[in-house]
Every structure is written in structure tokens, then in C-alpha cells.
Amino acid sequence: MGRKWEYGDFRQLGCDEKGASGMATKRLARQLGLIRRKSIAPANGNLGRSKSKQLFDYLIVIDFESTCWNDGKCHRSQEIIEFPAILLNTSTGEIESEFHAYVQPQEHPILSEFCMELTGIKQAQVDEGVPLKICLSQFCKWIQKIQQQKKIIFATRVSDISTSEVKLCAFVTWSDWDLGVCLEYECKRKQLLKPVFLNSWIDLRVTYKIFYRRKPKGLSGALQDVGIEFLGREHFGLDDSRNTALLAWKMIRDGCLMKITRSLNKVPTKRNPNIFTRNLNMDQVEEISACNSNIHDPSIYDISVDARL
């Protein structure tokens, strides 16, 4: 749990050791992050009426599709076969840009019948796709383009935002599987340099669970629970990403504050708790194109588990 709070900590917050009153105690507890306000969806459904001030001006939603099997065996070498990304404006709810690519698997180039039936992706589409190495380079160029157009930067950790001079952007996934497992371990196996800005993200599934105080039954079930019909085909990455963006926007309208839930970066020291940002430049694009460096192993997940469902 959290660290023990000393007398000096209470004094810094303007309280004595015992607290001035019950109200002051509750206020202190909220400041320390010990209790959360109960989130209640707007009853009248007016758009934006209860929309909270967001930390991030933009969200990029990602939902990979990968090779998969239904043969009862434990496969530890899933490869990305579809790489979509959706740029969502958190002020307007508009999708302002999209990236999409089919990726050619190298370790298991032939898709299983189960995989094609589940995702709707055909063998010819991945045969005509690009290797992950090239896909990452294309993705980085798309990121660089929207950075220049929207004037955004990526925050790898947010503790306090007190400036409006920059537009912050964060990645969103449905569970930690996409960035914490699938991409992380495929890049490690293939010795590809993963873009550093993909080391932090918002897990919308756990955010949904905390905010609405109920466990979602998959992405489609979560949408249904908030009155949104799933559009398109489930387990097709681009449609899943668009629907995840719809859900994120609904949650923002209901007052949910989007925050980073997972980071593979090292925890910053107490002396420097500010925002850590890293902007993409052409040197990074060239490094990604080279794709010839090892990455650190975070050792946080068993890759045999697909936690998206």
C-alpha cells in the first residue's frame, strides 16, 4: 500500500496532526489519493455537460490483432498482423487521424483457420503486408506528422500539470496486452527497437472498472453497458480501435479523468516528480527504421496469456 504519512506531511498540506475536522480529514484523504469520488454518469445524457478537464488533449487508441491458434497448445510467439491507431481529440470527441497497416508475420507466416475466422483477416492481406520492422518505421512517421500538425508531445508520467503551453497525448489500449505483452515481446524476440513513447499507456479496461465500479464483459459488453452499440466487426483491429475511442469519449463525457495506468519506464525519483516527455525526431525514425537494437525486458507479464477478452 501507500507510504506512511508523517507529521511534516500533514503540516505541508495545512493541517495539524489530528486534522481540523471531519471535512478536513476527507479533503486530506483525497489529496493523498486514499479515497476516490464516486463517479455518476449524467442522467440527462447531455453531451459534454459533466465532461471533466482532461490531463491529455489527445489520446491515441491502439488495438493489435495477432497470430493465434485454437489447438490447445501454449504459443509464446504471437506476432502482430494488424497495426491500427486512432487519434482522438478529448475536447471534441472527434477522430482526427488514423493509421492502419497489415503486418507480415515472420515466425509463423501462415495464419491458422481459427485466426482468419476470428479476425476476418485473410492470408493474402498479411502476405501483402510489411514486416513489423517496416511497420514501426511507418508508424513513427505518422506520429511525427501528427506531432507537427497538432503540436503534441507524449508524457511518460504525469504527476502534476500546471501549463497549457503544450498539448499532451497518451496511448490507450483495452487491457495491458497490446503494449505490455504483444509488442514488447515480439520486439525483444526480433531484436527490434521499440519506440520509447509506447512504454506508457492508459488501460481503458481497468479505468472503466474503477470509474463505473463494475467489471466489463469485454469491449463489446462495456459499450453495451453504457448504451453504445459496437460498430463494425469485433476482433478486427481498426474497428476495435474506433469502438474503444467511442468508449473513451463516453467515459470522458461522464466525468472520467484519463490517467496513465502502466509504464515500463523507470520510476522517477522524488526530487524530480515532474512530467517526463520525449518528442520524436528524425534520428528516432532512423533508429526505428534500422531496428537492430535490443530492448530491456520488463518481465511483467506471462506472454502465454491474452488478457484482452
Residues acting as catalytic residues: 65, 235
* Kind and range of the H or E run holding 173: strand 167-173
Cα 185 to the chain's mean position, in Å? 17
The Cα angle at residue 68 between residues 62 and 69, in degrees rounded to 5: 160
Q: Give the integer Cα–Cα distance in Å for 252 and 54.
A: 8
From residue 167, give the alpha-carbon distance in Å to each of 20, 153, 277.
Answer: 39, 6, 11
Q: Identify whether the C-beta of residue 65 lies closer than 8 Å to the C-beta of residue 82.
A: yes
C-alpha cell, 179: 503494449
* Strand, helix or coil for residue 10: helix
What is the residue whose three cell numbers read 472498472? Answer: 209
What is the residue whose three cell numbers read 479523468? Answer: 257
Q: Give the integer Cα–Cα distance in Å for 178 and 304.
A: 13
